[in-house]
Amino acid sequence: MSDAPRAIVAAHGDLAEGLVSAVSRVAGAAAAARLTPFSNATLGGAELVDALKQALVSTGARVVFTDLPAGSCTIAARRIAREVPGLVVVCGANLPMLLSYVLAPSVGPETIHTAVAKGQAAICIAEEGGRAD
Amino acid sequence: MPIEVYRIDDRLVHGQVVVGWGQPLELRFLVLVDDQVAESAWEQDLYRMGVPPEMTVHFESVASVLGRLDGYRRLPEPGMLLTGSTAAMRALVEGGASMTRINVGGLHHRAGRSPHLRYVFLDSAEEADLRAIGARGVEVSAQDVPGAVPVPLAELLVRSGG
C-alpha cells in the first residue's frame, strides 16, 4: 500500500457518498479513491463500531473524517481510537478539508493539521445579504 | 419544566438527539440511563464531549435514576431522558417512574431483530417490553425526529420492512 493519504469519510445519510463524489469531480477519481465513504444508516451503536473497524482494516486508513461532533459516527470512531493507537478522528469534515487531505503528497500529522486549517478557513459568510443602492 | 421526551435509542447520545430534538425543544439536559455507561468515566467523557456547552448530561443507572427522577423534573429548563434499550425503559416504568409518553427513536439492525421501520428493528423480547409498557397506559410511539409522523405502538408492531 502506498503512503498516499487514505481515510474513511463517515457521516449521516448519504453525506459521505456526496462528499467523496464531490472530491472526485474537483480533484479526479484517483484522489477520490483515497477516501472511502461510510454511512451510519440503519446501524446501532455497537454495529457501527464493528462496521467502521472493518472499513479501517480493509482500506488501511488511519484517519476518519466525520460530520457532527455529537454524531454516532464520531462516537464510534472515538471508541475505535481507544483501541487503535495512531487513529486520527477529525470532526466537521467539508469539501475543502477533504481536498487538501487527498491532494497532499504523503500522509503525516501535518497533512491532517493543514487539511483542518483549510476546512476551517473556507467557512465564511460570503455575502451578508445587504443590498447596495 | 418537565422532562420533555422519554426516548429509547440504541445510539444513546447522537445527532438526532442533540440537534434534531435538542435544538427545536431547546433541551438543556439529558439524563442518560445506562448501567454500563454509569460505571465508566471514559464512556461518560465520550458522550459528554459530543454535546454543546449549553447542554448538560447526567449519567444514571436504572436503579439510581428512580430516586432522582423527581429532581430532574424540577429543573428549570427542559430535558430528555434516554435509555439504550426497551428493557431499561420497561424497568423504569415498572419501577414506578410515571410517564405518559415514550418515544422509540432508534433500535437499529442487528442479528435477531426484525425490521418494522427504517430505524426500528425489534426482537421478540423487545416487542414484549414495549407491549408491557403500553399495557400500563403509557403512550408508546416511534418517531426518529420531531418532523416525522409518530407511529403508534399497535401500528409499529404490525409493520414490517425497514
Mean pLDDT of chain A: 92
Q: Is the pLDDT of residue A2 over 80?
A: no
pLDDT tens by residue, B82-128: 999 999 999 999 999 999 999 999 999 988 999 999 999 999 999 99
The interaxial angle of helices A45-59 and A72-83, nearest 10 deg, is 60
Mean pLDDT of A106-125: 92
For chain B positions 13-72, those within 8 Å of chain A (CB to CB) are 13-15, 17-19, 42, 46-47, 49-52
Instruction: Walk me through the domains of chain A, giving residue ranges and CATH numbers.
Output: 7-121 (3.40.50.510)
Give the long-range contacts of residues A23-26, CB within 8 A, separation 24 or more.
Answer: A23/A95, A23/A98, A23/A99, A23/A102, A26/A95, A26/A99
Is B12 in the A-facing interface, judged by CB distances under 8 Å? Answer: yes
Closest Cα in chain A, distance from residue B44 (Å):
11
Q: Which residue has the cell 484517483?
A: A30
Residues of A in contact with B51 (CB under 8 A): 70
Pairing label, strands B139-142, B120-122: unpaired
Q: Are B62 and B90 in contact (CB under 8 A)?
A: no
Task: Tell me which residues of chain B have a pLDDT lower than 70.
Answer: 1, 162
Domains along chain B? 3-158 (3.40.35.10)
CB contacts under 8 A, A 6-45 vs B, are: 12, 42-45
The pTM for the full model equals 0.87
SS3 A125: coil
How confident is the model at residue A1, as a pLDDT? 45
Average pLDDT over residues A91-99: 97
